[in-house]
Amino acid sequence: LSNVRAAVLEAFGRPLALRELPRPALGAGEALVRIAASGVCGSDVHMAGGADPRVRLPLVLGHESVGVIEETAGQVRSRDGRELRPGDAVAWDRGVYCGSCAHCAAGREHLCPSRRTYGIHYGGSTPPQLAGGYATHIVLGEGTRIFRLPEGARPAELVSCACSGATAAHSVEAAAVAAGELAVVLGAGPLGLWTIALLAEAGARVVAIGRRERRLELAREFGAAHVFDEAATSAAERREAMLEISGGLGADVVIDTTSSLEAAREGLAIARRGGRYVNSGAAVPVGEMPLRLYEDLVQRDISLRGVWVSGSAHFAKALAFALARAAALGKMVTHRFPLERANEALEAAARDRSAVKVVLEP
Ligand SMILES: [Zn+2]
Ligand SMILES: [Zn+2]
């Protein structure tokens, strides 16, 4: 049996510490998974820096992973009810829900006040410590929605389903996009790219606004008919172009995957009268933006919608989409690091301009 190691966040703003940990004793209903790949999410960078109010230290980061079951205690079943056994390749919803609150009962489990997320909430004194993806192993507790992967699934190409994929699926559902609608996506990171791909699948005409060459190339590849480089065009020029594309109306729907107040202002301005503005990108507190109730909202009949994380159905949707198009989505993976180089992986996600999706392969 292999050793158990984890890159542990012990102090905010400090490098992760590589620790050897005892092999955990499993409780009934738990599974020990050997991690094959874990994504580095933009929010990991925020968490490592201390910007996320949910985090308690010490913490093993990583909320998007794929792996192989090494051991189970008692019966562990997949989301569709099949018994899971050692050797099964699996992915799982990063969120765990109570299943009985009003939100869970109403099918809005992402709002469950007891929702806990691997790699985010299981820090501090909460056992087990092996509850994040920056490790060789993770313990999946009872109530985790586990999905068995088909033969030949490629882990690194699937990790983004758990966070950006599921959140994008939730956003597109929340935006209620109809075929033929003009949809503008702000931001072309993994969340933006996933949103573009799912909007294109839904039959929308997609416009992408983002930066960095590699990301804009992928935006085109994933189905954006028009792509604007933020760095090379002004907001006024983009608004002009949007009016032209839409025959003078503006966008039917804007999905903002950024946490930028400037982008939010632009998004509101390019939505048509009667249009929708949806934000899925503000993952940490970013401050206030002024809104003129009459001019910006009421007179223009604008719907404002926030999208908070995702539920298991969104994860299932993203996973099915990715399994059908793994090669295409795999192009997002620009960097791969072993666990020992987790700090370099975080650094690349934070600062390397060529990075789209950074993956740890413990
Ligand atoms: Zn994430
Ligand atoms: Zn609940």
Contact 355, 348 (CB under 8 A): yes
- State how far the alpha carbon of 153 is from the alpha carbons of 64, 163, 213, 323, in Å: 15, 18, 28, 7
- The two beta strands, 65-72 and 31-40, are antiparallel
How far is 148 from 332, CA to CA, in rounded Å?
23
Peptide bond into 128 cis (omega under 30): yes
Residue 163 CA, ligand 1 centroid: distance in Å: 5
- In this structure, the dihedral spanned by the alpha carbons of residues 317, 357, 129 and 29, taken in order and rounded to 10 degrees, is 20
State the distance from the centre of ligand 2 to the C-alpha of 95, rounded, in angstroms. 11
Token reading at 163: 């966070």
CA distances in angstroms from 198 to 167, 171, 175, 212, 275, listed in the order given: 11, 10, 12, 21, 19
User: 39-74 pLDDT, tens per residue?
Assistant: 999 999 999 999 888 899 999 999 999 999 999 999
pLDDT of res. 53: 86
Report whether the peptide linkage leading into residue 290 is cis, meaning its omega lies within 30 degrees of zero: no
Q: Which residue, 210, 240, 248, 246, is CA-closest to 227? A: 210
Cα 107 to ligand 1 centre (Å): 22
Tell me the CA–centroid distance for residue 196 and ligand 2, in Å.
Answer: 30
The DSSP output letter for 316 is: H
The pLDDT, as a whole number, for residue 135 is 97
Distance CA 307, CA 313 (A): 15
Cα atoms in the 13 Å half-sphere on the side-chain side of 330? 11
pLDDT of res. 211: 95
Instruction: Compute the distance from residue 74 Cα to the ligand 1 centre, in Å.
Output: 30
Q: Which residue positions in the chain have pLDDT lower than 50?
A: none
**Closest by Cα among 258, 279, 268 to 210:** 258
Token output for 252: 């039917």
Q: Which ligand is nearest to the CA of 96?
A: 2
What is this structure's pTM? Answer: 0.96
Q: How far is the CA of 115 from the centre of ligand 2 (A)?
A: 7
Ligand 1 (ion): residues with CB under 5 Å are 41, 43, 163
Q: Are 72 and 140 in contact (CB under 8 A)?
A: no
pLDDT tens column, 284-324? 889 999 999 999 999 999 999 999 999 999 999 999 999 99
Residue 185 in 3-state DSSP? strand
So what's the pLDDT on residue 1?
61
For residue 44, the CA-to-ligand 1 centroid distance in Å is 7
pLDDT score recorded for residue 33:
97
Distance 107 CA to ligand 2 centre (A): 9
Q: In Å, what is the CA distance from 194 to each residue of 103, 168, 186?
A: 26, 6, 12
CA of 63 to the centre of ligand 1 (A): 6
Q: Which CA distances in Å does 353 have to 29, 65, 113, 230, 258?
A: 42, 23, 36, 14, 16
Measured in angstroms, how far is the CA atom of residue 237 from the centroid of ligand 1? 32
- In this structure, which ligand is nearest to the CA of 164? 1
Q: How close is the Cα of 240 to the center of ligand 1, in Å?
A: 33
Q: Which residues surround ligand 2, an ion (CB under 5 A)?
A: 97-98, 101, 104, 112
| CA nearest neighbour of 37 among 195, 153, 189, 190 | 153
3: closest CA among 32, 28, 29, 26? 32
Which ligand is located closest to the Cα atom of residue 109? 2
For residues 229 and 211, the answer to whether their CB atoms sit within 8 Å is: yes
Residue partners of 232: CB distance under 8 A and separation at least 6: none
